[in-house]
Amino acid sequence: MSLSRLKLGFLASGNGTSARAIVNAIKAGQIPAETRLLVSNNRTAPALDWAREAGVPTLCIPTHADPEGADESLAAEMAEHGVELIVLSGYLRKLGPATLARYGGRILNIHPGPLPAFGGHGMYGRRVHEAVIAAGVAESGAAIHLVDEEYDRGPIVAQRSVPVEAGDTPETLEARVTAMEPLFFVETLRKIAEGTLGLPT
């Protein structure tokens, strides 16, 4: 599959901050890509309203009542919209086997801490920053990785470091990492699209 012009689908449960940055970068000509679809499992997700206003096709596929059916619908809708690469932007559900089978090796997530040390089940949001502070390490950061059936286990595509400063709290560290994530995702996708960064196999 040629990724010379990425055909992107997005998954978001909340604001979809990285998705917004990526879509805006595409519109500005900074990434040779097309935005094909944004899906949320949350009908009230701000990402849905933003995407509609931005002219991005949207769908809500709730996952609680019928997770298996939702998984099959998600995989089918992404394929129907021509999506080649899926980007998770704060999607708070584990992906199911249908989506993973159809898009294996083509689903990207950003994790707000170094992997593999600060990943795994239950390690999301502020919990990651609390664990980093508690460990007393000198650096945190963010990792963009491929998604598989286990939390945060997929191969790492790119990592970027952020210093842990004296007096940092989980809140201040979270703010610093969160501020760098969208641009980091934009730059990584641009490198993938331009062929200077390959996806792990």
Neighbours of 198 (CB within 10 A): 10
Answer whether residue 199 is part of any domain: no
pLDDT digits (tens, 9 = 90+) for 171-196: 999 999 999 999 999 999 999 999 99
Number of structural domains the chain divides into: 1
Question: b/e per residue, 132-153, with b = 16+ CB within 10 A?
Answer: bbeeeeeebbbbbbbbeeebbe
> Over the stretch 50-59, which tens digit does the pLDDT of each residue have?
999 999 999 9
Marked catalytic residue, from 111, 121, 129, 145: 111
Is 74 a domain residue? yes
To the query of whether residue 145 is one of the catalytic residues in this protein, the response is no
Statement: residue 86 has pLDDT above 60:
yes
The distance from CA 184 to its chain's CA centroid, rounded to whole angstroms, is 11
pTM, two decimal places: 0.94
Return the number of other C-beta atoms located less than 10 Å from residue 98's C-beta: 17
Query: How far, in Å, CA of 80 to CA of 103, rounded?
Result: 13
Say what the pLDDT of residue 4 is. 57
Q: What is the pLDDT of residue 92?
A: 87
In a domain, 201, yes or no: no
pLDDT in tens, 99-118: 999 999 999 999 999 999 99
Q: What is the CATH number of the domain that holds 181?
A: 3.40.50.170
| Exposed / middle / buried, residue 91 (Cβ in 10 Å: 0-12, 13-18, 19+) | buried
Is the pLDDT at 2 greater than 50? The verdict is no
pLDDT at 1: 41
pLDDT of residue 5: 86
Domain that holds residue 55: 6-194
In a domain, 91, yes or no: yes
Inside any domain, residue 1? no
The answer to which of 35-39, 67-71, 120-124 has the lowest mean pLDDT is: 120-124
Residue 38 covered by a domain: yes
SS3 state at 77: helix
pLDDT of residue 201: 79
Mean pLDDT of 143-156: 96
